[in-house]
C-alpha cells in the first residue's frame, strides 16, 4: 500500500465527525490493504510508530527537504526506513540520523512529508481509532464486530488480529483464545463520587482496597512463568520474587491479575515512584530486589487449569482466586450483598476509611455478577478516591525562573477529546520535588518538538497524575473549564496517552 493512500485516509477520517463515515473509510482502506501492511497501517493511523520512540526532534525536522513529484513510497518501505533509523547509535549517529530522515522525506510527496513529520512528532492522533478500526475490520471482512473485539482483547494486539482476518477471513478469529503466556488487555475501572454512589449503581458488590502499585498479569504454565505490565510488556526478569511466588502455587496453569507493591518497616505502601523505579530497573536486578523487595497482591483470576474464567461472574472468579492464592496475597475486601442495608453501607464507608488509614489511595467497588471485560473501562468496576485526581497528558512546558532557571517547570495539561486531540485544562508547577523537576526536564527535553525560548511544545506522550480541588469556568481554555489548585502527584509512565482521562469524564465528574 502506498503511503499516500494512508495519509489521505488519515486526513479524511480526521475531517469527519460522523462515526459511520469514519468506519466506512477504514473499511475501504482495509479491503485494499495486504495483510502484511496492517501491522504498519493501524499504528500509523493512530499516530503510533511500531518502533516506539525514535528521538527525532524538531532540530532534525526543521530543515525543509524538496518533496518528490509523485507518490511511490509504500508503508512497508517507510517502516523499514524507520527501523533502520531506530538502530543508529554511537559516534556520528546524529549526522547519520539526519541523513536517513532527509532521504526518507526526499522520497515523499509534500502531503506524505506532512504526514511523516506528524508521525515523528506525535501530532497524528485519531480519537478512539482502535475502536473504529475494529468496526472497520468487521465491515471489511464480514466478521461480527463483537467477535473481532473479543479477539483483540484476547490477543492484546489489534494489528495481529487484523492481519489474520485479512489473510484468512472471519474463521481466523477462532485462533484467538485466552492462552497462558499471551497477555490480555486488563479490565479498567470508571470513577464514582463516593462509596454510596458506587453501591447505588452496582447492587451486590465487593469493596476492595485500591492499591498504589504497578498492575501486573502473572501467567504460569508448568515451570514457565511470565509477568506482564498493563501495557503488556514482559517484565519477568525484573521481578524474580513475583515469579518465585507463582511457582509456589499448587496449580500448574493460571493467569492472575493484581499489583506489585513494596511496604516500609511499618507495613505501609512505599511511594509509587519507588515501586516504579524498582520495576523499571533492568541492569542489576539482584541488587535492586535486595534494596527494595516487592510482593504481588492479587484480586482476580482469568484462567486456571486450562479453564477460561472471563465470562464467570466476579463472585465465582473470586472463589477460584481464594482456592488458588493464600489470603495474605489477596487484596483486602468487604462484601455488600444488600446495598439498601444501612449497616452494610456504613461498613463500606468504614472500610474506605480504614483503607486510607493503611496508606492506600481508595477503593474499587466491583459488581459480583460482572464478567471480566478485558481491555475495557467497564461500568461494573468503580474506583472511589477521596481526592480528585486525573491522568492528564503533558502538552507543553515552560522554562522556569529563579531557583528553577534552566529547568522545565510549568506543565501544560491536556485531557483527551473524542477526535484524539487534547484540550488544555490548565497549567501547574506545584507539587514538584527537586528530583521530579530534574527528571521531567530531561524527559520532556526528549519529547520536545519546538522551543520558542519560553514554551517548549512536546509530543503528547507523557501521562501525569494531577490532584485538584475542582473546576472553574474559564473562556481561556477550549473545554470552557480549568482545574482549581492543580498539583502534580506523580508521573505515570506505565500508562499510555490513550488511557488519559477524557474531557467528557472531567466534566461529568463535576456535573
Residues labelled as active-site residues: 210
Provide CB contacts within 8 A for 309, sequence distance 6+: 301, 302, 303, 316, 317, 320, 372
Rounded Cα distance, 102 and 424, in Å: 33
How many residues are present in the chain? 511
Please say whether the beta carbons of 120 and 15 come within 8 A.
no
Q: Is the torsion defined by CA of 73, 76, 77, 78 positive or negative? A: positive
Give residue for cell 480528585.
Answer: 388
How is residue 10 written as a grid cell? 488519515
CB neighbour list of residue 31: distance below 8 Å, 6 or more residues apart? 140
Beta bridge partners of 301: 256
Q: How far apart are CA 325 and CA 305, in angstroms?
A: 14
E strands in 128-274: 188-191, 205-210, 214-221, 224-229, 253-261
DSSP 8-state assignment for residue 269: B
* CA distances for 396 relative to 68, 280, 441, 454, 486, angstroms: 33, 25, 12, 10, 16
Amino acid at each position: 500500500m502506498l503511503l499516500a493512500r494512508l495519509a489521505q485516509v488519515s486526513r479524511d477520517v480526521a475531517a469527519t465527525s460522523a462515526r459511520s463515515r469514519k468506519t466506512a473509510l477504514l473499511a475501504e482502506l482495509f479491503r485494499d490493504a495486504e495483510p502484511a501492511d496492517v501491522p504498519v497501517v493501524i499504528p500509523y493511523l493512530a499516530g503510533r510508530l511500531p518502533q516506539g520512540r525514535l528521538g527525532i526532534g524538531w532540530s532534525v525536522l526543521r530543515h525543509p527537504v524538496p518533496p518528490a513529484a509523485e507518490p511511490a513510497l509504500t508503508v512497508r518501505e517507510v517502516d523499514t526506513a524507520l527501523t533502520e533509523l531506530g538502530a543508529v547509535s554511537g559516534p556520528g549517529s546524529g549526522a547519520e540520523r539526519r541523513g536517513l530522515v532527509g532521504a526518507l522525506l526526499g522520497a515523499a510527496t509534500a502531503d506524505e512529508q506532512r504526514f511523516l513529520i506528524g508521525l515523528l512528532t506525535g501530532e497524528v492522533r485519531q480519537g478512539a481509532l482502535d475502536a473504529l478500526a475494529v468496526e472497520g475490520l468487521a465491515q471489511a471482512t464480514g466478521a461480527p464486530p463483537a467477535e473481532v473485539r473479543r479477539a483483540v482483547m484476547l490477543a492484546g494486539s489489534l494489528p495481529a488480529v487484523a492481519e489474520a482476518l485479512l489473510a484468512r477471513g472471519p474463521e481466523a478469529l477462532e485462533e484467538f483464545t485466552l492462552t497462558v503466556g499471551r497477555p490480555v488487555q486488563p479490565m479498567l475501572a470508571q470513577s464514582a463520587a463516593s462509596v454510596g454512589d458506587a453501591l447505588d449503581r452496582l447492587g451486590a458488590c465487593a469493596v476492595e482496597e485500591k492499591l498504589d502499585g504497578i498492575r501486573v498479569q502473572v501467567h504460569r504454565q508448568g515451570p514457565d512463568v511470565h509477568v506482564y505490565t498493563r501495557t503488556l510488556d514482559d517484565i519477568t526478569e525484573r521481578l524474580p520474587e513475583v515469579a518465585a511466588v507463582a511457582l509456589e502455587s499448587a496449580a500448574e496453569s493460571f493467569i492472575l491479575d493484581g499489583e506489585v507493591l513494596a511496604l516500609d518497616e511499618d507495613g505501609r505502601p512505599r511511594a509509587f515512584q519507588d515501586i516504579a523505579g524498582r520495576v523499571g530497573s533492568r541492569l542489576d536486578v539482584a541488587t535492586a530486589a535486595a534494596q527494595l523487595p516487592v510482593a504481588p497482591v492479587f484480586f482476580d483470576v482469568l484462567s486456571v487449569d486450562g479453564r477460561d474464567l472471563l465470562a464467570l461472574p466476579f463472585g465465582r472468579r473470586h472463589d477460584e482466586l481464594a482456592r488458588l492464592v493464600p489470603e495474605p496475597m489477596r487484596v483486602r475486601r468487604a462484601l455488600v450483598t444488600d446495598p439498601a442495608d444501612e449497616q452494610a453501607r456504613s461498613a463500606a464507608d468504614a472500610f474506605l476509611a480504614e483503607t486510607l488509614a493503611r496508606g492506600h489511595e481508595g477503593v474499587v467497588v466491583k459488581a459480583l455478577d460482572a464478567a471480566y471485560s478485558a481491555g475495557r473501562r467497564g461500568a461494573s468496576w468503580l474506583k472511589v478516591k477521596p481526592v480528585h485526581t486525573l491522568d492528564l497528558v503533558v502538552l507543553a512546558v515552560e522554562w522556569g525562573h529563579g531557583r528553577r532557571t534552566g529547568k522545565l517547570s510549568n506543565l501544560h495539561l491536556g485531557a483527551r477529546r473524542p477526535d484524539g486531540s487534547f484540550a488544555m485544562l490548565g497549567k501547574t508547577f506545584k507539587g514538584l520535588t527537586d528530583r521530579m523537576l530534574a527528571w521531567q526536564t530531561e524527559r520532556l527535553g526528549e519529547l520536545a518538538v519546538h522551543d520558542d525560548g519560553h514554551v517548549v511544545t512536546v509530543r503528547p506522550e507523557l501521562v501525569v497524575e494531577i490532584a485538584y480541588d475542582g473546576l472553574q469556568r474559564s473562556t481561556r481554555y477550549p473545554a470552557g473549564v480549568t482545574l482549581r489548585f492543580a498539583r502534580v502527584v506523580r508521573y505515570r509512565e506505565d500508562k499510555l496517552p490513550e488511557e488519559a482521562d477524557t474531557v467528557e469524564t472531567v466534566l461529568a465528574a463535576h456535573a
